[in-house]
Chains A and B, each alone.
Chain A
């Protein structure tokens, strides 16, 4: 059974940093690209970042480029999102998701339960 479990969320002050993790199980992790998608309170879904199966290619939304860094450890079946210079507008539930195919436009077929990040003083 595919499982994705996020952790690391919490309350942080504006300008602060936080590191999110996603632990994967039930599939061959290194064979799948992974994504971070966030959802601000009462709002819709917003893609944040993505990383290829090998970790060689990374992608960022303009809203987080230069502040967030995605990485993965295939030996430990984990993915991380280092978030720096956090802003109030980064407040959201952060979901990790698996991209099901090899092409970029493939669907996100499994999602974690999410971890809440609150940026506030």
Chain B
């Protein structure tokens, strides 16, 4: 069981908007630690998608956005494309000696 909770799956049609939630606790996200998001395309290594809650690394389309509030964070993807079909993971840091923590991952299916 992961420290951060994500829905196992989400889906949407091309062009639609989807959101993926990431719920933590007062020991990690709620303690003020930043949330990061990673995209893992099938058969590849994870890739940083959003860092420090809402920032996009160079090269990441602005269709991807992140937010954080309280003990939760969200990843939003607008204008869904077939190439967005992947697993998405949130990650933060835990102050209770748990170290670096990940969500269980969310599989995005583009219908």
Contacts and interface: CB of A to CB of B under 8 A. Distances in A.
Interface of A: 35, 37, 44-47, 50, 59-61, 95, 97, 100, 104-114
Contacts of A107: 34, 36, 48, 51-52, 91
Contacts of B64: none
Contact of A109 (B44, B48, B99, B101): B48
Contacts of B40: 45
Contacts of A113: 44-45
Nearest to A109: B48
A43 B94 CA distance: 21
Contacts of A46: 102
Contact of A100 (B33, B51, B87): B51
Contact of B93 (A45, A105, A112): A105
A1 B103 CA distance: 29
Given A100-B51, A108-B48, A109-B57, A44 B36 contact: no
A42 to B, nearest CB: 10
Given A105-B33, A105-B92, A109-B57, A44 B48 contact: no
Contacts, number: 63
Interface of B: 2, 33-34, 36, 38, 40, 44-48, 51-52, 57, 87, 89, 91-93, 99-105
Contacts of A114: 45
Given A44-B2, A104-B93, A105-B92, A59 B45 contact: no
Interface SS of chain A: strand
Which 4 A-B pairs rank lowest in CB-CB distance, beginning with the nearest?
A107-B51, A105-B93, A107-B36, A47-B100
B101 A47 contact: yes
Contacts of A106: 34, 51
Contacts of A100: 48, 51
A47 B105 CA distance: 13
Contacts of A111: 45-48
B73 to A, nearest CB: 13
Given A44-B103, A46-B102, A112 B51 contact: no
